[in-house]
């Protein structure tokens, strides 16, 4: 059998890059989805230097033309897609203001990438994932998307009360459940991963976990056995793969 094919969005750095590395080490062909050709090619070359079959695919999750072109290229070159990791996400500084100080424009900007981008890419790639004998879709979420965690006065996230990024990840969790239900009669599994608070460009490298640790949560869901869960939310850092509250 030919190598499995995995597409990771936003894979030129951080958790996306480390996810590509982990999947590549398993023998998968990893497609490095990135907006920047320069950064995407550089990431693919770096992984290639480690003996990983990594290839840059131009993909901006907010640009329908690049999504369509990427799907056509994958179909032409590989004929199917075994793993889709929806990793691309943003958290602009304006989005961390108090809810009452957050503009609609900021909400639209965050949702365009973090939520609508997931729907656009998933719908475009799903015909290819259906051709896989055991497709896996992983949506990179966050503990900040857990309504249970955010509303628990004794929890670590309770003091954080911002609107854009946390609510976008709550929406990603809802998308995960909806796609899992939609695909319940197929071999495809759809799950959400919480990488935990990782040191990445998104937070100025202030996170307490490494991108590799965060990518491990994604990797576990991307490589699930046939008896693994679907429609699940897991990760968070304390124990790899632990179930989380919605």
Enumerate the active-site residues.
165, 169
DSSP result, the chain: -PPPEEEETTTTSHHHHHHHHHHHHTT-EEEEEES-HHHHHHHHHHHHTTT--EEEEE--TT-HHHHHHHHHHHHHHTS--SEEEE------GGGGS-GGG--HHHHHHHHIIIIIHHHHHHHHHHHHHTTSTT-EEEEE--GGG-HHHHT-TTSTTTT---SHHHHHHHHHHHHHHHHHHHTTTSS-EEEEEE--SB-SGGGTT--SB-HHHHHHHHHHHHT--TTS-SS-EEE-SSSTT-B---
């Amino acid at each position: 059998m030919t190598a499995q094919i995995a597409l990771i969005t936003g894979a030129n750095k951080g958790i996306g890059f480390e996810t590509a590395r982990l999947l590549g080490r398993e023998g998968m062909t990893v497609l490095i989805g990135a907006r920047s050709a320069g950064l995407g090619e550089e990431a693919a070359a770096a992984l290639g230097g480690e003996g990983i079959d990594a290839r840059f695919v131009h993909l901006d999750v907010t640009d329908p033309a690049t999504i369509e072109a990427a799907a056509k290229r994958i179909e032409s070159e590989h004929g199917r897609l075994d793993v889709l990791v929806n990793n691309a996400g943003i958290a602009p500084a304006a989005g961390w203001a108090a809810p009452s100080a957050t503009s609609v424009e900021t909400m639209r900007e965050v949702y365009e990438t973090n939520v609508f981008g997931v729907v656009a890419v998933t719908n475009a790639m799903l015909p290819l994932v259906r051709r896989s004998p055991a497709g896996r879709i992983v949506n990179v979420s966050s503990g900040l998307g857990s309504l249970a965690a955010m509303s628990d006065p004794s929890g670590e996230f309770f003091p954080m009360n911002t609107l854009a990024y946390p609510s976008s990840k709550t929406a990603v969790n809802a998308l995960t459940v909806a796609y899992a239900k939609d695909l319940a009669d197929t071999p495809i599994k759809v799950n959400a991963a919480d990488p935990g608070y990782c040191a990445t460009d998104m937070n100025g490298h202030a996170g307490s976990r490494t991108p590799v640790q965060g990518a491990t949560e994604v990797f576990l869901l991307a490589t699930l056995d046939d008896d693994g869960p679907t429609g699940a939310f897991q990760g968070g850092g304390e124990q790899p793969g632990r179930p989380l509250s919605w």
